[in-house]
């Protein structure tokens, strides 16, 4: 049986694409990859050939199309991993799903003001209260999960789960914009960034040539 195909956007910019790509790589699920650079001439038409939403990521598995990063991770966990993409314990699994859904639907100010850009590097400067509040909440989630489950392994819930994949783009954001961290949050950030799979994604991003002005340096960020 042919492996599924994951359609992604630019590795430098597409935070949504990173999540299922990382989850599948870390979980050892084989897949083919199609990269469609975003916001380029013909990008929308090319995306529509694969994605009913016109967005990335998209998973093609035979004649099935699965779109949205969290839905893809759920599908991969069910079909290829016997549900092991989530913690085995029901109560822990509920919390893992909760923090994943919070990231999936929330933190809009962080997304808007700290766009993922792996090639960028800035000194930290507070943007506004809403961004600061989002950062504090992410730090709280990371710290609480690590304090409660750190004895079982280096990830949010001990072993690597979908929740870690959902927060991986934040690691690149915090790294690019110099967000100050300490304690468990700083250690978890380091764990994410040092993954072989995250390094591979980073290498791919550095090899790209596309530049999206809307995701590049802004006046608020000192060079």
Residues 109, 36, single domain; the answer is no
Q: In 3D, which of 174, 103, 115 has the Cα closest to residue 145?
A: 103
- Quote the number of domains for the chain: 2
**What is the arithmetic mean of pLDDT over 29-41?**
94
Of 61, 80, 99, which one is at a domain's C-terminal end?
Answer: 80
Residue 219 forms part of a structural domain: no
**Predicted confidence band of residue 218 (pLDDT cuts 50, 70, 90):** low
In this structure, the answer to whether residues 140 and 57 fall within a common structural domain is no
**Residue range 129-139: mean pLDDT, rounded:** 98
Q: Helix 162-177 and helix 183-193: axis angle, to 10°?
A: 100
Q: Residue 223: is its pLDDT beyond 90? A: no
* DSSP bridge pairs for 35: 8
Residues 163 and 59 in one domain: no
Instruction: Provide the strand spans (E) within 28-100.
Output: 32-35, 58-61, 64-67
One domain for residues 194 and 106: yes
Alpha-helical segments (H) within 5-86: 15-27, 43-50, 69-80
* 143 Cβ contact partners less than 8 Å away, ≥ 6 residues apart: 183, 184, 185
Residue 45: inside a domain? yes
Q: How would residue 222 be classed by pLDDT, with cut points 50, 70 and 90? A: very low
Range of the domain at 174: 90-206
Domain of residue 62, CATH code:
3.40.30.10
pLDDT tens for 43-81 read 889 888 998 888 999 999 999 999 999 999 999 999 999
* Pair (97, 200) in one structural domain: yes
Token pair 């850009």 is at which residue?
A: 117
Q: Do residue 199 and residue 94 come from a single domain?
A: yes
- Within this chain, do residues 67 and 121 fall inside the same structural domain, yes or no? no
Residue 131 belongs to domain with CATH number = 1.20.1050.10
Are residues 155 and 189 part of one domain?
Answer: yes
Lowest mean pLDDT, pick from 55-69, 113-127, 203-217: 203-217
Q: What is the pTM of this model?
A: 0.94
Residues 73 and 125 in one domain: no
Q: What residues have CB less than 8 Å from 44, skipping those under 6 apart?
A: 54
């Amino acid at each position: 049986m042919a492996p599924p195909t994951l359609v992604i956007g630019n590795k430098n910019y597409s935070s949504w694409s990173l999540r299922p790509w990382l989850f599948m790589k870390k979980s050892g699920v084989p897949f083919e990859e199609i990269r469609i650079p975003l916001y380029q001439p013909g990008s929308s038409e090319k995306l529509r050939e694969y994605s009913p939403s016109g967005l990335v990521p998209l998973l093609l598995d035979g004649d099935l199309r699965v779109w949205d990063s969290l839905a893809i991770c759920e599908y991969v966990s069910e079909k290829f991993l016997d549900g092991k993409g989530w913690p085995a314990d029901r109560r822990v699994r509920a919390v893992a799903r909760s923090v994943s859904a919070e990231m999936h639907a929330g933190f809009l100010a962080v997304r808007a003001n700290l766009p993922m850009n792996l090639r960028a590097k800035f000194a930290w400067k507070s943007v506004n209260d809403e961004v600061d509040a989002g950062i504090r909440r992410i730090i709280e989630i990371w710290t609480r999960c690590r304090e409660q489950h750190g004895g079982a392994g280096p990830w949010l819930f001990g072993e690597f789960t979908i929740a870690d994949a959902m927060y991986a783009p934040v690691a690149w954001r915090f790294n690019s914009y110099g967000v100050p961290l300490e304690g468990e949050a700083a250690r978890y950030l380091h764990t994410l960034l040092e993954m072989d799979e995250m390094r591979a994604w980073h290498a791919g991003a550095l090899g790209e040539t596309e530049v999206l002005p809307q995701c590049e340096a802004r006046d608020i960020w000192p060079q």
